[in-house]
Amino acid sequence: MSTIARNQWYVAAYGREVGRELFSRTICEEPILFWRTEAGEAVAMSDRCVHRRYPLSEAPSRLDGDKVVCGYHGFTYGSDGGCVFVPGQARVPRTARLKSYQVVEQDSFVWVWIADPQNPEQGDPTRIPRAPWMDSPDYTVVSGMEPIDCNYGLLVDNLMDLSHETYLHGGYIGTPEVAETPITTEIDEDRNVIYVSRHMDDAECPPFYSKSTGIEGRITRWQDIEYTPPCLYLLHSRIAPIGAPLPGDDGSDPHAFHSEIVYAITPSTENSTLDFWAVARDFAVGDDAVTTFLAENNRTVVMQDVVALNVLQKALDTEKDGYQELSINIDAGGLGARRILKKLVDAPQAATAAAVG
């Protein structure tokens, strides 16, 4: 049974990745072709020609104005996916149409709606969760994407329990206090959002922050997670020297340094994941050296996760049926995320069963 939730919005790319070159990415086991019209609108359609299934992203396929020309036999498609030309005949078969996808560009991301084939719904753009720091002039952003050879649920588990920073990311973002500090967890079943908070009152300042903020000595460190399944994970990070005033009642917090850590967790297939990551900061906004440092260090941290999750997936693939996990207090957020993800996976099937019944 599939673990991928459908009738959902997923991040398919950064806006900067989609241009006037044909670009393909597999999202939820569907190969999708992306490109921009001459007017700049992002388009998404099936990356398989209807004739002999040739990938339209592969040369010598090309764009001709706002039409895609298949490089194998010349079948040509408009921006709505409809075929407008076939070789050797004037009549275009009625079924000569590519699957097209709803696309929304928001907060530097290109979101695509993945419908359930048995019970498709129209995507509602207002349901897309926000990450407004990604294109805010008040923040400087570094970002990237790494593929992982694991089920996307393993990346969700990883991000919901940040105690692993102490062990996996020591020397970068991990310190002993992350694992030692208890968490608080809130699960909003109505809105399908999970919140996990870890507030450290007296913590070592890891190099990731000491070298980017200039703080010397110990800090207060807040990690507030907000995960909206299936795709968008936010980590609101607050760093301040010990003794600095807390945020004001009006939300102002001028004595702290803030980073908004953004992950878009997109399943490519059942056992491969697209890990879109970004760090948006409100300090040293114009400092190129800090930007370079954070880009390099955060990618190192991400790659440590990639290596660990690749190993974990291989280990799980060899486990016999019925193996048992042990969960503890720090897993509350991850277990809540698993429960909501399963609800989202089951929802289209439940709707189909209700319609039949």
Per-residue pLDDT of 234-288, as tens digits, reads: 999 999 999 999 999 999 999 999 999 999 999 999 999 999 999 999 999 999 9
H and E: helices and strands count for the chain: 6, 17
CB atoms within 10 A of CB 157: 21
Largest CA distance in the chain: 78
CB atoms within 10 A of CB 263: 23
pLDDT digits (tens, 9 = 90+) for 150-193: 999 999 999 999 999 999 999 999 999 999 999 999 999 999 99
pTM above threshold 0.85: yes
Q: What is the predicted pLDDT for the residue at 82?
A: 97
The model's confidence at residue 351, banded by pLDDT at 50, 70 and 90, is low
Structure token digits, residue 114: 């993945």
pLDDT digits (tens, 9 = 90+) for 336-349: 999 999 999 999 87
Structure token digits, residue 226: 């907000």
Q: Walk me through the domains of the chain, giving residue ranges and CATH numbers.
A: 6-123 (2.102.10.10), 131-318+326-343 (3.90.380.10)
Q: How far is CA 313 from CA 184, 188, 209, 308, in A?
A: 28, 29, 31, 9
Q: How far apart are CA 277 and CA 264, in angstroms?
A: 7
Amino acid at 293: F
Q: How far is CA 134 from CA 35, 131, 140, 282, 301, in A?
A: 21, 6, 8, 11, 20
